[in-house]
Structure 1
Amino acid sequence: MMTEEELEILIVEDNEGDALLIQEYIKDEFPNAQLSHAWNLAQAENLLHEHHYDLIFLDVSLPDSSGKDSIVRVVELANTTPVIVLTGYSDLSFAVESMQLGVQDYLNKENITASSLQKSITYSVERNRIRLQLIDSDKRFRSIIENSIDGFALISADGKIQELSPYGNSIIGFDPLENAGLFQMDFLHPEDRKMVLSIFFEVLSKPGSIKLLEFRYKRPDGSYRWMESTFYNLIDNTAVKAIVLNYRDVTLRKKEEDERKLLIEQLTQTNDYLKQFGFIISHNLRAPLTNLLAISDLINPDQMPDEQTATLLKAVKISTNQLNDTLNDIIKVLIVREQKQRNLEEISLTKAWSNFIGLQKSQIAIPDCEIITDFGNPSHIYFDKEYLDSIFGNLFSNAIKFASTKRPLRIRIRSFLSGTDTVIEFSDNGIGFNYQMVKERIFGLHQRFHDTLGGKGFGLYLIHSLVTSLGGSIRCESEVEKGTQFFIHFKNSKHD
């Protein structure tokens, strides 16, 4: 009901009795309505020029105008205001014609009651509100289409272009509507015609279906441009009754994709050459290096007759061992990068660490230090055991190598869950380093952060390679004279 609305209504009626009756009915149903009255069309025109109304009642038999002429004139002046026609005759054909001229309702004065008038006013105002919303929506939609950088076209089932957005012409370089509106197959690249036709007929056969495709289209200057297009079958949609074609020029993107593809191919080829070179070098160095190691083991510098020779032999032995360690590190990285199949298994962290530290104690002298472990939750990871041993080995040796002389070494290792990942935190209270200065290169090859201490700058690079090769990640935090923390993320599941 609209009884609380203050409607402003104009009544154009030359019969005083009819005008008073209509006003009385309106006041009964809409007490707050503001009513104006015009005796003829001229007065109505003056009022409509000066004021906007929410509704107009129009008698089609006025002293200065009648019939269709009155309706056409008032509808024109009313603009968006709904018009209800009043007549003293029952003429169905005239009623239909009146509705076609733009009026909202048609009432016979002989049958008007307060109730029928209330319904007519309510329905007319509501229908008009919906009509205006649709008009506004259509304007917004058309504005979007007309200002879009994409092209839009409506294509009939027989391939004729029914409508085309303004920007669509600039994309293809001409107006296809000038060529009988036909979709110009001759302008498609010969290699793409069969594919485009096949997709068009496939979409045509399935109402509601959508297909995305890319093809080349020839512009008037003879150059071909890449188009990304979508065919959308809306033939069964009564508001569209066509296949909607949305298209855009993606020539630049295709060029960039081709350049990127070529670059990837070149990088892959270069990487393969480098891996092959690395394997060749490591293989060719292995035999002479093994001989040097054997010879250096046979010679005891302490048995040399003079000190200078002994010193030189010790230096040769140290350099040979360092070269052997470097070669082994290179081979490890090459194997990690090349290996397609890994020996993945469920590993108990407590057992893995216990075996590792036991082996270390049997082979090297471990300085006094406090080692705290907490592998309670989770207690297992799914990983490569050799990789895990190598990660433990590098982190542990770094902790010992970079221990502080100001306090006893303390190492803490624990596991915890972070989202779907298992995280191992390895921390120490060693000398640390300025993380903010080196964070961009911390896991790079041959990166060293302490000039006065030994190290090849290879360990963290190897750890990063091992972890990331199986889909994990690693990050680091460190402060000078406070220590270093590493957080290694492992995937929880066999299927991750």
Structure 2
Amino acid sequence: MRQTLLKLLVIEDNPGDFILVNEYLEESFPKATIFHADTLLKGIEFLENENIDVILLDLTLPDGMGIDSFLSINLKAPQVPIIILTGLGDTKLALESLQIGAQDYIVKDDSSPAVLAKSIQYGIERSKIFARLKKSEEQYKLLFDHNPLPMCAYDNASHQFLKVNEAAVRHYGYSEDEFLKLTIDELEPGSEDVNQPISISDYNVSRNGLYSIDHKHRKKNGEIIDVEMRSHEIIIDGQNACLAVIHDVTERNRAKEQLRESEQMFRTISENFPNGEVAILNKNLTILYIAGKEFHIPGTNASYFENTAYTSHFHSPEKEKVYDKLMQVFADNNVVFEAAYDNLSYMISAVPLYETDGKINKILIASQNITEQKRNEIEKEMFIEKLKQNNSDLQQFSYITSHNLRSPLGNLLGIIKLLDTSSISDPMTKMLLKNFEDCTIQLNETVNDLINILLVKNSSDSKKETLDLRKTFEKVVQSVQNTIDQKSMTIIADFDDAYEVEFNRTYLESILLNLITNAVKYSSPKRDPQVKIRTEKIDGGIKMYFSDNGLGIDMQRNKDRIFGLYQRFHNHADSKGLGLYMVNSQIRVMGGGIDVESEVDKGTTFIITFKN
């Protein structure tokens, strides 16, 4: 039957139930014509004037109750399929209606567009089949064999299968011959265990001839399914039997279980929400649900807030701000904002909750106490400001100290150059003057080193430019070519993958010079020195690998001291322990990074990251 011709009559006196059923029907049958009668008499009038295809009947009406309502409608239109709409408490009555001719029953609380559509479609088809069955026994067999739901007939005493339809064969995987060798009890999981008896009374129909029960069945492939069996008594070849229609409700039960688990999970999360609360509000911002470990009003519990306006628990002007923010959520926005209650601060997040029709009638909010966090942030900012001031004072002290030392040191160095020690004959005096000269020169070098370090440390704005690593490296190598030749050092450089960097020219030359001179200075006497340098592109910059085959560094002992000031790892006369410190400082002040890999007597690799 085409949907354009489909006419549905809903006999329901509850306006709310009819609205829900009507929405479901319009979703499933958008082209159908839907009639509504709120009394039995109006329903009969529709049947007299319209060619109705399916009737959805509530058994509790103002002018008809229970089975009498069904009988009245069925008498008026025996050819029209009737589907019973029932509440949870009327299931027994609905089952009795099935026994005397109703096509199906639907519990209102479990209804959905899919359930109604399925029931109506099956109701229409079953109605056609039952009409043909009235004419002959063959038509009854047709109903059984071609029913889209699994059906079976079994002996009421032994439970041996007598008949199964094609739907049962397809659904369970057993052939018809295999079915006829089984009892219905043997479909139960665990029936193969002789120590687990099956209660055969579960499969016996009730005294009124109709029975419905939920079971678990095992298919031939071992899959366990949930089924709802609806059985009634029949006579097959003169023996008492049961005819059962089997509904596979596995997916329905699984959906119910998932829903239950989701609800339980939500409750668990919300009830244990730390330092705050979780709440569901309606369009009036009334609290429908609230839970948590801490509520934004100290000393309160969930019952204090239930069915009250969420904003009523804030003081003005905070109340108005909270209201404006939460109302934005109903315009399909997620909002996060701070709100205060007395001397406490809360971070509130709110998101919309969508109905099945896409409308937003509720919102979910999570509120968390951030008072301590904000207090810590303020203290941290004060501490950072204090550190900045201390650092500034130390830098100023370093500048003043180095400046004040340079002038007297210059005078001392000048006096030393003017001293004529040729006329001094006393050995002790000569030795003292020589020590004085050495100490003065050493102090001057130390002051100069510290000034250079201060210059690097405070050069965050040093000029950057695009530099060619190949050309810069060649320039540095040429400046120390004599030293390289004296040591017979081999240099292998590969800048093909990447060679342009954004860096300070002076710093780059200084870094490369320090690394090359260190490779010469700390080369191994066991082999000719060799340096390998290569580059590679990375996201946002370049990596340069500088490797030598020199003495290496004991990383287990010195890993945390590699780039320290005045750290020396080998006994070398010219070593001051300043080079790597300067390299690290120059790289990091330009926003780069440096790592080191080394092994004693095998060599060292420096991995430098230049960020563009």
Same fold by TM-score, threshold 0.5 exceeded?
A: yes
Distance in 2, Cα, partners of 1:121 & 1:274: 90
Equivalent positions of 1:116-195 (< 5 A) are 125=248, 128-148=249-269, 149-150=272-273, 151-165=277-291, 173-175=299-301, 177-179=303-305, 181-185=307-311, 187-188=313-314, 192-195=318-321
Where in structure 2 are there 5+ consecutive unaligned residues? 1-94, 102-132, 158-184, 186-197, 216-225, 233-243
Question: Comparing both chains, which one has the higher relative contact order based on Cα–Cα distances under 8 Å and sequence gaps of 6 or more?
Answer: 1
Q: Distance in 2 between matches of 1:281 and 1:85?
A: 103
| Cα 1:423–1:316 shift into 2, 3 Å | farther
TM-fit CA distance, 1:157: 1.9
1:49-84 C-alpha deviation (Å, 9 max, x unpaired): 947999x9x9xxx9859xxxx8xxx67x65985577
> Which one of the candidate residues 487, 490, 497 is aligned to 1:368?
487
How far did residue 14 of structure 1 move?
8.5
Distance 1:175 1:383 in 2: 61
Q: Which among 535, 540, 555 is matched to residue 416 of structure 1?
A: 535
Residue 461 of structure 2 is matched in structure 1 by 341
Match of 1:292 in 2: 412
Partner of 2:553: 433
Match among 502, 508, 516 for residue 388 of structure 1: 508
Q: 1:34 to 1:302 in 2, by over 3 A?
A: farther
Distance between the aligned counterparts of 2:323 and 2:261, measured in 1?
33
- Give the Cα–Cα distance (whole angstroms) in 2 for the partners of residues 332 and 193 of structure 1: 59
Deviation, 1:250, is: 4.2
Deviation string 1:121-178 (CA, Å, 9 cap, x unpaired) is 79x64xx455434322221111111111333311122221112246576996534554
- CA spacing shift, 1:250–1:425, aligned 2, 3 Å: same
Equivalent pair of 2:519/2:531 in contact (CA under 8 Å)? no
Q: How many residues of Structure 1 are paired with residues of Structure 2 in the alignment?
A: 416
Matched, 1:229 2:354: no
Could you tell me which residue of structure 1 aligns to residue 153 of structure 2? Answer: 35
Distance 2:484 2:156 in 1: 113
Match of 1:98 in 2: none
CA contact (8 A) 1:379 1:415 kept: no
The correspondence for 1:209, drawn from 328, 333, 337, is 333
Inter-partner Cα distance in structure 2 for 1:445 and 1:174: 59
State the alpha-carbon separation in 2 of the partners of residues 53 and 312 from structure 1.
115
CA RMSD of aligned residues (A): 4.4
Is the partner of 1:433 in helix, strand or coil?
coil
Q: Give the Cα–Cα distance (whole angstroms) in 2 for the partners of residues 140 and 464 of structure 1.
A: 56
Partner of 1:25: 143
**Deviations 1:197-217 (CA, angstroms, capped at 9, x unpaired):** 33223333x1x2101223344
**Helix, strand or coil for the counterpart of 1:431?**
coil
Measured after TM superposition, the shift of residue 290 of structure 1 is 2.6
Q: Distance in 1 between matches of 2:201 and 2:536?
A: 69
Distance 1:334 1:372 in 2: 33
- How far apart are residue 341 of structure 1 and its match? 1.7
Q: Distance in 1 between matches of 2:477 and 2:491?
A: 12
Correspondent of 1:283 among 403, 409, 413: 403
* Structure 1 residue identity aligned to 2:554: N
SS in 1 for 2:583: helix
Unaligned runs of 5+ residues in structure 1 are: 1-9, 40-46, 87-119, 219-223
Match of 2:323 in 1: 197
The answer as to whether partners of 1:161 and 1:177 remain within 8 angstroms in 2 is: no
Shift of the 274–121 alpha-carbon distance from structure 1 to 2, 3 Å rule, reads farther
Kept after mapping to 1: 8 A contact 2:285/2:310: no
* SS of aligned partner of 1:440: helix
* Partner Cα distance (1:466, 1:186) in 2: 59
In the alignment, the residues of structure 2 paired with residue 369 and residue 320 of structure 1 have an alpha-carbon distance, to the nearest angstrom, of: 36
Alpha-carbon shift at residue 242 of structure 1 (Å): 0.5
Residue type of the alignment partner of 1:438: N
Structure 2 counterpart SS, 1:241: strand
Question: In the aligned structure 2, how far is the partner of 1:157 from the partner of 1:38?
Answer: 57
2:368 matches 1:244: no
Which stretch has the larger CA shift, 134-143 or 390-399?
Answer: 390-399
Q: Which moved more, 1:30-39 or 1:391-400?
A: 30-39
Cα distance change of structure 1 residues 181 and 338 upon mapping to structure 2, 3 Å threshold: farther
The aligned residue for residue 398 of structure 1 is 518
Asked if 1 retains the 8 angstrom alpha-carbon contact of 2:595 and 2:607, the reply is yes
- Which region of structure 1 is more displaced relative to structure 2, 28-37 or 257-266? 28-37
Output one character per residue of 1:93-117: Cα deviation in whole Å (capped at 9) or x when no partner.
xxxxxxxxxxxxxxxxxxxxxxxxx
Counting only pairs closer than 5 Å after superposition, residues 287-326 of structure 1 correspond to structure 2 as 287-299=407-419, 305=425, 307-326=427-446
Give the SS at the match of 1:374.
strand
CA 417–13 in structure 1, closer or farther in 2 if over 3 Å, else same? same
Q: Which letter maps to 2:257? A: D
Q: Distance in 1 between matches of 2:485 and 2:402?
A: 31
Q: Aligned partner of 1:285: which letter?
A: L
Distance change >3 Å, CA 402–CA 248, structure 1 → 2: same
Measured in 2, the distance between the counterparts of 1:301 and 1:397 equals 36
Residue 463 of structure 1 deviates from its aligned partner by 1.1
| Alpha carbons of structure 1 residues 404 and 83: separation in structure 2 relative to 1, 3 Å | closer
**Alpha-carbon distance in 2 for matches of 1:299, 1:190:** 85
Indicate which of 329, 339, 352 corresponds to 2:472. 352
Q: Structure 1 450/464 Cα, relative in aligned 2: closer, same or farther at 3 Å?
A: same
Three-state SS of the structure 1 residue aligned to 2:560 is coil
Aligned partners of 1:176 and 1:184 also within 8 Å: no
Shift of 1:438: 0.8
Partners of 1:35 and 1:254 lie apart in 2 by 73
Inter-CA distance 484–312: structure 2 relative to 1 (3 Å threshold): farther
Q: 8 Å contact 1:337–1:469 — kept in the other structure?
A: yes
Matched residue, 2:116: none
Q: Report the equivalent of 1:3.
A: none
Change (3 A) 1:316 1:361: farther
Per the alignment, in what secondary structure is the counterpart of residue 432 of structure 1? coil
Whether the 8 Å CA contact 1:226–1:249 is kept in 2: the answer is: yes
Partner of 1:444: 564
- Are 2:608 and 1:484 equivalent residues in the alignment? no
Offset from partner CA, 1:23-53 (integer Å, 9 cap, x none): 77334557975435879xxxxxxx9x94799
- Paired letter, 2:266: I
Question: Which residue type is aligned with residue 459 of structure 1?
Answer: G
Residues 416, 437 of structure 2: 8 Å contact kept:
yes
Q: Distance in 2 between matches of 1:273 and 1:471?
A: 24
Are the structure 2 counterparts of residues 331 and 350 from structure 1 closer, same or farther at C-alpha, using a change threshold of 3 Å? same
Change (3 A) 1:163 1:31: closer
- What secondary structure does 2:263 align onto? helix
